[in-house]
Structure 1
Amino acid sequence: MKNKIILKSAWVMSVIIVLLTAGFIPQSSQAGTDEFPLMEITVDELIAEYEKGTYTAVEVVESYLDRIETYEETYNAFTYINKDALKEAKKIDKMRKKGEKLGPLAGVPIVIKEAVDVKGFPTTFGWAPLSKEADGIKLMPSKDASVVTRLKEAGAIILGKTNIPAFSASGTDANTSWAGPTYNAVNPSLAPGGSSSGTATSISGNFAVLGIAEETGGSIQNPAAAQSIVGIKPTFGLVPTMGVTPLSSSTRDVLGPHARTVEDAARMLDVIAGYSEDDPLTEQSVGHVPDKGYASLLDDTSLKGKRIGLYGPGWRTEELSAETKELYARAIKELESQGAEVVTDPFAGTGFAEYVKNAPSQGRESFFYDLENYFENINPNLTTEKVFEKAGAIPWEDGGPLSSRANLPGKDNPDVLPDLTEFKKVRSEYRKMMKEVMEEHDLDGFVYPQMSKAIPKLGEGSIAATTVSEINVGGWPLITVPAGYYKNGSPFALAFLGQEWSEPELIGMAYDFEQATGHREAPQLIDK
């Protein structure tokens, strides 16, 4: 398969017009989703097939690359395809044949969000002036991001990098990307979620088994919810973010898995989580990663006896739509049927919702400092000023993708970290309030509808998440799990959330819910 380095914006824009005006309804393609032998396969299932000799890694990678080639012109999930994927698969096959020790993801096809550095691939920020394919400049990282190194060491095979909006600056879609919009695998007329749009489409559409997503304000959870997959937004500091194009790496940025099952997401988290000397912020994770890994704690009775807080005006005054209320009510009954006890609006009377309204943008103060550090990490001779001078455009000028950040501190002195006292005060207050609520009501976590209303049509509004940016300012973990569909076919998802470092408990509860309900349905894709 050819290396995808061509700009397809004109063609893709024609597709979006057709889909939106025709009222697209998903249908089977000529290739037929049922004919794909690896449809919805999990990590454990794939490894078992490798060990039985049913497949080789080369055969599996070829199958996924063929599937990508069939559907890429419709869904536009990728910015680049890895031309060395088959070579890497062949290496895994040789190691397996010789009986050599293999990593936990040996031969598992994965995708990486465009915002994450992969050696040998340009880093474009999703923005045309930084993309050679869009007549911009070319930035080539000299090394892999920390998580990419860990995934390669685990034996994962990177199929490609996935599409994002310019500077990851949308929680709804990737329409501003130099590569054109990405389309929702469940229904291309719906917003795909952002900014990890391409990763979500790749996983939901069965273009890979696992994917790396990234979040500053909704970018793991929104696409996961929009495309009926699982997303884990980890506690800030659990996963190293060295080598990731930043929006707020000193305060909010996190990396996490996209997967089709909770177990697969946990297995990926097992590989990428924990302290890295490349990222001092991960020092706080020491002692918080389970000794035997997150996947070892999966239990389909995890909800039994748990006390769970429900969404209400104490958390946020935004009303749920009528249909969201119906779907949420059904989900609550499903939680209760698994033995959970629910507590209505435990944040009521705490003042949390009012406090949040005054701090929605907290944590952006470090942007210019973080960006300067990122460029220096690519090349010690690079500076923010030099990069954008060469690109001939500045993203925070009027009309740019980051115009809202023009007045943030540090623009004229990016070598110095701005004062984060106010941000730390706000984060501390968020955490104090949550801790007090959980102690007062003896809660084990919270389960909310991830969105307050159905996903909008692509280009016709923004995703209405119930947890952004509270989760991001608080630095809390959140797991998105498929929980059904609206009458129009739009996915409905639950968000399992809790205090910092509560991933083991949240993963267990999310797994129990998933196993009891099985709400995800594999999308039926269309080709051109």
Structure 2
Amino acid sequence: MTKEPSIEAPVIDLVEMTVERAVNGMAAGEFTSEQLTAAFLDRIKLFNPLYNAIIFLNPQAMEDARQMDEKRSRGEPLPALAGIPIVVKDTMDMIGFPTTGGWRLLHSGSGGIDLMPDTDSPVVARMRKAGCIILGKTNVPVLSATGSHANDSWAGPTLNAVDTMLLPGGSSAGTATAVAASMAVLGLAEETGGSIQNPASAQGLVGLKPTFGLVPNTGVMPLAGSTRDVVGPIARCVRDAALVLDAIAGYCTEDPKTVAGIGNRPADGYAASLKPDIIKGARLGLYGPGWRRRELSAETEIHYDRLQAELTSLGAVLVKDPFAGSGFADIGQPVPGLDHYDARGMECVPYDMMNYLRRLGSGNPFASYADFAAAVGSEDPFGPDGVLSFMAQLPDFVACLNDPSTPPAMEDFLAARERYLAIFSAAMHAHRLDALVFPQMRAPLPPREGPETIHETTVCEINIAGLPALTVPAGYYEGGAPFNLVLVGSLWSEARLLSLAAGYEQATHHRATPTLDVYGEQSR
């Protein structure tokens, strides 16, 4: 059971609370971290039964907050996120909690087998080191296999805080809803194919998908840990996302691919490097058939035109379809039956899963990948009816499944990455672009129940290429669904993307606070 705060808590307005507001409040003595944490836990108790964003609460949260308050009272130097209540995605290993991947077969409470890590994942450890108070872990769909919702999770569906009838986005559905509903200041998410940008956009939030290799993803249940998976923040404002990136980015001995990021971070950090004024004179490329031959809906076109007018008024220079005639749109090989989703690079999931299970330590109940496959064989995720059935169509997947101890060659994936990056770099150079700016979705959000998925503009291309992307609230459709822009940049350009986004955010203030109802009846 979570302990009550040691002193009477003041009334704290948690709605839309930012890191800056929380830090200033604690510094001024308006409230303590313990009181702030207790207030968020009360809010979770009120709203989470309906929205189902958080699946495990951290019983240590109040004690962690008290310890942070003691450090503050002693005058000790505190990190930037000291005392800030956050949530983390279920797929990220955290001592004392099972990592379930949303799957009932990996959750003992649903009749499955728990995976209990001996150590925190590096990103969780880094958030702790940054002073965060982890309130709990958030809901995901089975094996993070969809970028649209979490309807099939053992914990039940997560609802969209903006409109419960609309898709919440996935697979980081729980993190997005917890942040959108102000059940935490911010949260950690993870993306293989849209799982940061989709839920952030679906709920009118800032979501940052970093450059592949900037942030370690060891200790995070993989879909493509060797090739595509990235961890990043979902927040309500750009500066908070920058502060999280400061905490989690950088080389990690457990994750050798992060060596690529050495020398590619701003010396003073991302938050300190925010320069919102750079939007004046910035050259931004626009969405067109050169990028992807998928049209925007009529209503999306209206909002995109309005977005372009806003950017122009802020001094940006817009470049129409900079990829026209480049061959960029021809690289993708969408899986038949999926909406423009190119799965190349995910062939390595058996190999990555084996390494993930090994890292669990004593909490790994499986002696081998074969034991794992046998234990979950009653719901084979790669079988004809499985959530990852499309994987069988990838050229190297079957070989990797037969021998998970050896990573697959994935020549098609590597060739696609090289070609994407070559054309992308050439277009950015030729047009002297600072970034691309697209609508994150081609059409308004579909309903949560039904076969339709989120229709995005940027997922497979940037996930295969490893490029960074940042979503920012940019308005609302007539029906109330959020309209977000997405900024896409060159490798390691997070500082520039964050600055451009901060300039737009501060000039427009498009995000609107959703009105929540305990019983699910909402209005905006």
Please confirm whether the aligned pair reaches a TM-score higher than 0.5, indicating the same fold: yes
**Native 8 Å contact 1:58 1:90 kept in 2:** yes
Query: What corresponds to 2:383 in structure 1?
Result: 397
- Aligned counterparts of 2:410 and 2:477: Cα–Cα separation in 1: 42
- Aligned counterparts of 1:60 and 1:319: Cα–Cα separation in 2: 46
- Aligned counterparts of 1:174 and 1:43: Cα–Cα separation in 2: 28
Give the counterpart letter for 2:153 in structure 1.
Answer: S
Deviations 1:288-338 (A, max 9, x none): 011110111212212111111000011111110011001011111111111
Deviations 1:457-498 (A, max 9, x none): 102310000001111001000000000000000000000001
- TM-fit CA distance, 1:444: 1.0
Distance change (3 Å), C-alpha of 1:292 and 1:503? same
Give 1:265's match in structure 2, choosing from 232, 241, 244: 241
> Residue 255 in 1 paired to residue 240 in 2?
no
- Aligned counterparts of 2:286 and 2:375: Cα–Cα separation in 1: 50
- Aligned counterparts of 1:405 and 1:424: Cα–Cα separation in 2: 17
- Aligned counterparts of 1:346 and 1:324: Cα–Cα separation in 2: 20
**Native 8 Å contact 2:82 2:130 kept in 1:** yes
Give 1:365's match in structure 2, choosing from 344, 347, 364: 347
- TM-fit CA distance, 1:519: 0.2
Query: What corresponds to 1:523 in structure 2?
Result: 514
Query: What corresponds to 2:403 in structure 1?
Result: 413
SS for the counterpart of 2:277 is coil
Deviations 1:177-228 (A, max 9, x none): 0000000000111100000000000011000011000000000000000000
Q: 1:207-222 counterparts in 2 under 5 A?
A: 207-222=183-198
Give the counterpart letter for 2:122 in structure 1.
Answer: S
Bigger shift: residues 374-383 or 192-201:
374-383
Q: 1:416-431 counterparts in 2 under 5 A?
A: 416-431=406-421
- Aligned counterparts of 1:356 and 1:147: Cα–Cα separation in 2: 31
**Native 8 Å contact 1:129 1:392 kept in 2:** no
**Native 8 Å contact 1:137 1:391 kept in 2:** no
Alpha carbon RMSD of aligned pairs, Å?
A: 1.5
Give the counterpart letter for 1:469 in structure 2.
Answer: C
Give the counterpart letter for 1:106 in structure 2.
Answer: A
The two structures have a TM-score, normalised by structure 1, of 0.92
- Aligned counterparts of 1:349 and 1:433: Cα–Cα separation in 2: 11
> Residue 388 in 1 paired to residue 373 in 2?
yes
- Aligned counterparts of 2:427 and 2:278: Cα–Cα separation in 1: 21
Give 1:349's match in structure 2, choosing from 325, 338, 341: 325
**Native 8 Å contact 2:2 2:62 kept in 1:** no
- Aligned counterparts of 1:518 and 1:188: Cα–Cα separation in 2: 23
Structure 1 gaps, min length 5:
4-34
Deviations 1:320-375 (A, max 9, x none): 00110010111111111111000011111111112224692221121111011101
Distance change (3 Å), C-alpha of 1:153 and 1:67? same
Query: What corresponds to 2:94 in structure 1?
Result: 118
Give the counterpart letter for 2:387 in structure 1.
Answer: P
Count of matched residue pairs: 497
Give 2:42's match in structure 1, choosing from 44, 47, 66: 66
SS for the counterpart of 2:239 is helix
**Native 8 Å contact 2:169 2:199 kept in 1:** yes
Query: What corresponds to 1:199 in structure 2?
Result: 175
SS for the counterpart of 2:23 is helix
**Native 8 Å contact 1:61 1:86 kept in 2:** yes
Q: 1:427-446 counterparts in 2 under 5 A?
A: 427-446=417-436
SS for the counterpart of 2:483 is strand
- Aligned counterparts of 1:432 and 1:274: Cα–Cα separation in 2: 25
Deviations 1:143-200 (A, max 9, x none): 1000001010111000000000000000100001000000000011110000000000
Bigger shift: residues 249-258 or 125-134:
125-134
Give 1:85's match in structure 2, choosing from 34, 41, 61: 61
SS for the counterpart of 1:296 is coil
- TM-fit CA distance, 1:36: 5.8
Q: 1:88-103 counterparts in 2 under 5 A?
A: 88-103=64-79
Deviations 1:93-127 (A, max 9, x none): 11111112222111000000011111100011110
**Native 8 Å contact 2:51 2:177 kept in 1:** yes
Bigger shift: residues 378-387 or 283-292:
378-387
Structure 2 gaps, min length 5:
4-10, 336-341, 520-524
Give the counterpart letter for 1:40 in structure 2.
Answer: E
**Native 8 Å contact 2:343 2:391 kept in 1:** no
> Residue 46 in 1 paired to residue 1 in 2?
no
Deviations 1:10-43 (A, max 9, x none): xxxxxxxxxxxxxxxxxxxxxxxxx861221111
> Residue 464 in 1 paired to residue 435 in 2?
no
SS for the counterpart of 1:456 is coil
Give the counterpart letter for 2:474 in structure 1.
Answer: A
Give the counterpart letter for 2:386 in structure 1.
Answer: G
Q: 1:282-297 counterparts in 2 under 5 A?
A: 282-297=258-273
- Aligned counterparts of 2:235 and 2:125: Cα–Cα separation in 1: 19
The two structures have a TM-score, normalised by structure 2, of 0.93
> Residue 450 in 1 paired to residue 455 in 2?
no
**Native 8 Å contact 1:127 1:177 kept in 2:** yes
Query: What corresponds to 2:6 in structure 1?
Result: none
